[in-house]
Amino acid sequence: MVLPTHLQGNLTPTEINFLAENELITILPRYSIKKINLIGATIPNLRAMRREKVPLWVALILKNQDKCNIVPPKWLNVNYLKEKYDDEIRKPTQFSDLPWNWLELSKILLTKASDDLPDSISDLRSIIQDLREIRLIKSRKGLKELNESNIALNGLSLLEINEIRPFVLPVMNKLRQLHDTTLKHDAGTNEENMADASDDE
Amino acid sequence: MYGDSANKLVADAKRFSNLPSVPIYQADLVKDIVKEINDLNRDAEYLSTIEDNIREAQEEGNSTQQEEDYKINQCQTFVTHLSMRRNKRCLLAYEKLRSDKLIEFAWLNIDPAEPITQSAPSSSSSGTDTATNTGAPSLPNSKALLPQSKTIPNYTTQLDMNNLNHFEQDFYKNYQNLITNYKSKFGEYLDLTGDLQPPTDIFIDVRCLKDGGDVTTEYGSFNLIKDSQFYVRKSDVERLIQQGYLEEI
């Protein structure tokens, strides 16, 4: 394949960020802007002080030029995140349901739109860091349960899945290979499977 | 034993698989291996004539001795073929790795002559440089390659045409033609060889790393003087960053 090996099979953090920037977010424009049709989305007619939903990257450009305020998503405040944190502690075997992009979104908003957030930045940062750490510990613990057939990652976000993928996939592949070879019966079909498995890597 | 030199070749391939450059082609090793394969092939042909003899003898009278001979012959033929196959596999693995690196480089769209002209003057023209500027210029010259490999890690960023054998040189040229043909289908709107990083900022600050004279991009011209800074549209200077003239700040 032409794509360089370090880009194959896994998303880079910048790519995840890029995906997260497609998320719709509510903004409070300060100027009126006519409707714009883009390839993947449309920016609706923007009128001053009327809330509209636009892709995050548009919001960031407007924010950079001081043409809008970003309305933070409803999960991005200390109280809500505190609740989630307590949730995480109460249920040691599962992950609380946070938005699919919570890490990237919060990072983007904290760095680029910090003046629009309701709570103090340092509080938000620390609670997000706490949440991230406790979830990291959980996913580390979960790795002990790795087997060759299935894995449950309910409630993990894209970035979190992405950072365990380069470890989990090869390990599961190896386990599956070993498991397949130890199956004594129907040895004939097994050899074919082995050939497939080694091709996959 | 058969396959030893093939092993050396594969070990060499493993060594350079992570290097940013393509090392010199192991012509001697490859020649050894090909010679070995030829020898093995001769063995195999000889064995097959023997097999025919045994077959004929078998048809006349079926003795246990001939049965035995036949089995031994089969075993020898099999092992000979296995050795040949192993050699073939090692050769192919080596060539594939090299061609992968060439392909990667071809897509990066850097001029392969550039690294040579950069590394060569550091030895040949450093004399003239030191005369005027007390030895300092030779350092930036050798450093000139570093930022480039820093901005695009994990790529094959250096290619010395002299390290390739000429089949590879041909392959490289033909592959470049293929890329150009393919690119031309997309017109000027989509640059397939461009940066693979997702776009972030529209305007960026860039610093010039080495002199490039006047460079005209599609959207205007810059005068590239070393250590000068510009605030430009990223899409204008992407190519220059790839080539190592500019560094993003």
- The distance from CA B139 to its chain's CA centroid, rounded to whole angstroms, is 27
Q: How confident is the model at residue B150 (pLDDT cuts 50, 70, 90)?
A: very low
- Cβ pairs A/B, distance under 8 A: 21
Residue A97 forms part of a structural domain: yes
Q: Tens digit of pLDDT for each residue in A173-187?
A: 999 999 999 886 555
Confirm or reject contact between B155 and chain A (CB < 8 A): yes
Give the residue numbers spanning the domain of A36: 12-71
DSSP lists the bridge partners of residue B178 as none
B200 and A14 within 8 Å at the Cβ level: the answer is yes
CB burial of A180-191 (b: ≥16 within 10 Å; e: otherwise) equals beeeeeeeeeee
Interchain CB distance below 8 Å, B104 and A2: yes
Pair A140, A126 in one domain = yes
B214 Rama sector, left if φ>0, alpha if ψ -120 to 50, beta otherwise = beta
pLDDT in the model for residue A82? 92
Q: Quick check: ipTM above 0.95?
A: no
Beta bridge partners of A25: A54
Q: Are residues B93 and B154 in the same domain?
A: no
pLDDT in tens, B12-41: 999 888 888 888 898 999 999 999 999 999
Residue B198 has its nearest CB partner, among A4, A5, A15, at: A15
pLDDT value at residue A192: 52
From B154, which residue of chain A is nearest by alpha-carbon distance?
A6
CB contact under 8 A, B107 and A18: no
Same-domain status, A172 and A78: yes
Residues B144, B239, single domain; the answer is yes
DSSP string, B217-241: ETTEEEEE-TT-EEEEEHHHHHHHH
Does one domain contain both B124 and B228?
Answer: yes
How many other C-beta atoms are found inside a 10 Å radius of the C-beta of residue B155? 21
Question: Does some domain include residue A199?
Answer: no
Within 8 A of B199 by CB-CB distance, chain A residues are 18
CATH code of the domain in which A113 resides: 1.20.58.1020
Residue the block writes with tokens 């045409």: B161
Chain A contact set for B104 (CB, 8 A): 2, 4
* Residue of A5, A7, A17 with shortest CB distance to B196: A7
Given a cut of 90, whether residue B157 has pLDDT beyond it is: no
Instruction: Assign residue B65 the CATH number of its domain.
Output: 1.20.58.1030
Give residue ranges of A with CB < 8 Å to any B CB. 2-7, 14-15, 17-18, 61
Which is higher by pLDDT, B210 or B139? B210
Q: What is the mean pLDDT of chain B?
A: 77
- Check residue B158 and give left, alpha or beta (phi > 0: left; psi -120 to 50: alpha): beta
Residue B74 structural domain:
4-106
**Same domain as B230, residue B123:** yes
Q: Are residues A87 and A170 in the same domain?
A: yes
Q: How many domains does chain A have?
A: 2
Residues A54 and A91 in one domain: no
Q: Are residues A126 and A36 in the same domain?
A: no
Confidence of residue A94 (pLDDT cuts 50, 70, 90): confident
Q: Name the closest residue on chain B to residue A17, using Cα atoms.
A: B198
Residue A1 lies in a domain: no
Same domain? A54 vs A78: no
Compute the distance between CA of residue B110 and CA of residue A56 in angstroms, rounded to an integer.
Answer: 34
Distance from CA of B95 to the nearest CA of A (A): 15
| Residue where one domain finishes, among candidates B106, B132, B150 | B106
Secondary structure class of A8 (helix, strand, coil) = coil
